Amino acid sequence: MNDLFSGLISSKTRINLLVRFFFNPGTKSYLRELSKDLQVSTNAVREELNQLTKTKLLTSEKEGRNVLYTANSDHPLFPELKSMVSKVMGLDQVIESILTRLGDLEKAYIIDDYAEGKDTGIIDLVLVGNIDQYHLNDLSRKTERYIKRKIRSLVLTREEFKAFMPTMKNRPYFLVWERQEKA
């Protein structure tokens, strides 16, 4: 991931922060939480957060004694940065491959670490619908080699998903695709 951005951005901490905030724009984080997750000193993270806030790519708000940071979805570069981060993470290929070949997909969610913007090397997907498991396994293997990340998929029917939803609500997740019903 860092290879693609490193030619444009020299700070690894800044790259990790951009990925964290623009991969899942709903992410809100505190300085110490980011420092711990990125395994970087609070001073290094603070410096990058200040730069990103000064350029208005991130917004900050005081919550008690802490400052909470989030991606600025009103920034003119927001759509491009979100798209770039998705491409760097390899998710554009994963979702496109899944959508075009797997059958009757209703919804696709990213859960756990990637939903928090953490690039741990394992992408956890929840797919809802009637999915061709053989094609899913084949596509996952091919895509994994290309993006250099492991893909774990949980395939659920609509009814199974309804039962799983309370469990999922206690974990980080976000919807990456939903079939639009024809009017």
pLDDT tens, residue by residue, 91-118:
666 666 666 677 788 888 889 988 877 7
Do 7 and 54 reside in the same domain of the chain? yes
Q: Which domain holds residue 35?
A: 2-82
CATH code for position 24: 1.10.10.10
Do 19 and 48 reside in the same domain of the chain? yes
Do 161 and 138 reside in the same domain of the chain? yes
Number of H helices, E strands in the chain: 8, 7
Does residue 62 fall inside a structural domain? yes
Do 97 and 167 reside in the same domain of the chain? yes
Residues 6 or more apart whose Cβ sits within 8 Å of residue 175: 107, 108, 109
Residues 6 or more apart whose Cβ sits within 8 Å of residue 167: none
Does residue 122 fall inside a structural domain? yes
pLDDT tens, residue by residue, 38-94:
778 999 999 999 999 999 999 999 999 999 999 999 999 998 888 887 776 666 666
CATH code for position 103: 3.30.460.10
Report the domain count for the chain. Answer: 2
